Chains A and B, each alone.
Chain A
Amino acid sequence: MIDLKNISVRYGSKTVVDAVTATVNAGQFIAMVGPNGSGKSSLLKAVAGLLPHEGSTSLPSGRKDRAKQLSYLAQNCTAPHNRNVEDIIALGRTPFLGPLSKLSEADQRAIESAAMACETRQYFGREFGTLSGGEQMRVHLSRALATDTPVILADEPTTALDPYYQLSLMNILRASADAGKSLIVALHDLKLAERYADRIWIMQAGRLVADEPADTALSEGILRDIFRVTPSGDVIG
């Protein structure tokens, strides 16, 4: 599980995340939704320790110790195109390796099981650049799962994926939550959020304005006031 206490992020005088306090239990899948610029990415980065912020989390503050507790799937993941898939997934074990140490059996097992979960085992031996966008995203997710941390943060992982890969990615994330991990996943697709998450966090102008069960969170009022759309999918002028 993870506790967030009064997390704020400021760029100069602009407050992009405003005193967010929340808890994610073990096995809970949080979908974080909100309009562009509502602070979703900044909140995830702050929790991951990538942005200077106020407030605290229940995670260790040391770089290496935190990396063993939390894995982060960035919005625009990249990887060297000439690297083999298994080498990229193995980078997920970085927090557990010394500068010269080799992968242990435990490391190998974590890599294998992450690759099995994401169905990327079949790409071993292939160069990353030869995969399609959806396949590459699954490799990134395998890398994040290979760290085998209790907390997983993902920033819009389904963006730019076709429906098949969107759903298969969400299935993998759901299975991780069912295996006891705490997930915070920023999403734009409200339908995916409703279908896969346990709870939905709604962000607006840097504030966490709602933290509700997934089946009731996206009420007509919320859709109208925050997303400026109607339940039938029309834009509110």
Chain B
Amino acid sequence: MSAQFWSVFMASICLVAVLASLFIGSTWIELSNVLAGLIGRSSDPVNTIIQDIRLPRALLAALVGAGLGASGAALQGFTRNPLAAPGLLGFSACAALGAVLALYFNFPALITPAAIGFALVGALAMTMFSRRKSGASGLVLAGIGIGALATAITGLTMNLAPNPWALSELVYWLMGSLKNADGVDVLIAGPLTLMGCILLFCSGPALRGLGLGEDTAQSLGISVRQTQWLIVLGSALCIGSGVAVAGAIGFVGLFVPHILRFLTKADEAWLIPLSALGGASFLVVIDTLIRATSGPGTPLYLGIVTSLIGVPFFLWLAWRQS
């Protein structure tokens, strides 16, 4: 089946997931009520639940998931390394550090720019390292190093934090959650993620050629440097804006492209939009399940759940590699 078919298929799944998430929750809402709630024609509680809680949360889950999936697919294509993903390569942790620093120094308005800026530094360090041809293990080791450093500084910042409230923020950014999602977050993350995804999509045709190795790709007129910049900027925008609103959510960028590559046989270029749609659908489904199953007072963290799902997959991949 063609990549076009899979794109339409994944887009439909994504749409169904977002719609379904509007019905499902601690209270089930019927179709007619959901539709009325969307345009503000239902009862006040339903209007609030749909417009202020479920819709922003579903949209935000879709945005964050799309950014993670697209970045993962592009990074795997560029480094020609199946273990490359924004979480493993440490720049989700870098973005989280940026967000936490902005908060610590009391500039909440700078959370998003700081997260994007730090993600950019992480992404740049990674791609430069991968171009030194240090191999898969070197790349992952460097990523673990960068991620551990960022996490340690995040921990230090919060260690010095003045109050327990600040400490709970650390948990939020390290574990990832959409529980505080609102319309403003969607307006912030939406355009930035969209811009990031467009940059990543643009790198697609070059990634096809890069599959033949850097020298051959260059001899075909492909600019490796330009491709690298597209991917660095694109994934920094996606990951930075995602982390700024939802914290670090691991492993989605790793396994979504893998599963889709296996299922769809899509090439490097098609895999980026497919992974964006797949990541979006996955995160919407998981977050909806979390929302529906969490009792009051004990919300599960989204990032923990995705890691619990992703880690076995990662171990299997590492096992198969060796």
Contacts and interface: CB of A to CB of B under 8 A. Distances in A.
Interface of A: 45, 48-50, 63-64, 66-68, 70-72, 74, 76-80, 82-83, 87-88, 91-92, 94-95, 97, 99-100, 143, 147
B220 A87 contact: no
Given A48-B219, A83-B267, A91-B220, 6 more contacts: A48-B218, A68-B221, A77-B216, A80-B267, A99-B202, A100-B205
B265 to A, nearest CB: 7
Contact of B216 (A49, A68, A72, A95): A72
Contacts, number: 66
B180 interface: no
Given A50-B215, A74-B213, A94 B265 contact: no
Q: Tell me which of A74, A97, A100, A147 has the highest count of chain B C-beta atoms within 10 A of its own C-beta.
A: A74
A78 B221 contact: no
A61 B261 CA distance: 37
Contact of A49 (B211, B212, B219, B268): B219
A79 B208 CA distance: 10
B220 A74 contact: no
A-B pairs, top 6 by smallest CB distance, nearest first, are A67-B221, A72-B219, A64-B221, A94-B220, A95-B221, A80-B211
Contact of A87 (B221, B222, B223, B267): B267
Given A63-B221, A91-B220, A92-B220, A77 B212 contact: yes
A66 B211 CA distance: 20
B221 A66 contact: yes
Contacts of A72: 215-216, 219
Given A83-B267, A99-B202, A99-B205, A63 B216 contact: no
Contacts of B234: none
B209 interface: yes
A94 B222 contact: yes
A50 B223 CA distance: 11
Contacts of A70: 219
Given A94-B220, A95-B220, A78 B215 contact: no
Contacts of A45: 215
Interface string B222-234: 1100000000000
Most interface-central of B202, B205, B209 (chain A CB within 10 A): B205
A70 B219 CA distance: 8
Nearest to A75: B215
Contact of B215 (A66, A74, A87, A88): A74
A143 B219 contact: no
A99 B226 CA distance: 14
Given A79-B211, A95-B221, A99-B205, A74 B265 contact: no
Contacts of A49: 218-219
A61 to B, nearest CB: 12
A94 B212 CA distance: 12
A68 B221 CA distance: 8
Most buried by A among B218, B223, B261, B268: B218
Given A63-B221, A82-B265, A94-B221, A88 B212 contact: yes
A58 B311 CA distance: 54
B15 to A, nearest CB: 24
B208 A91 contact: yes
A225 B267 CA distance: 50
Contacts of A74: 213, 215-216, 219
B212 A147 contact: no
Interface string B256-294: 000001000101100000000000000000000000000
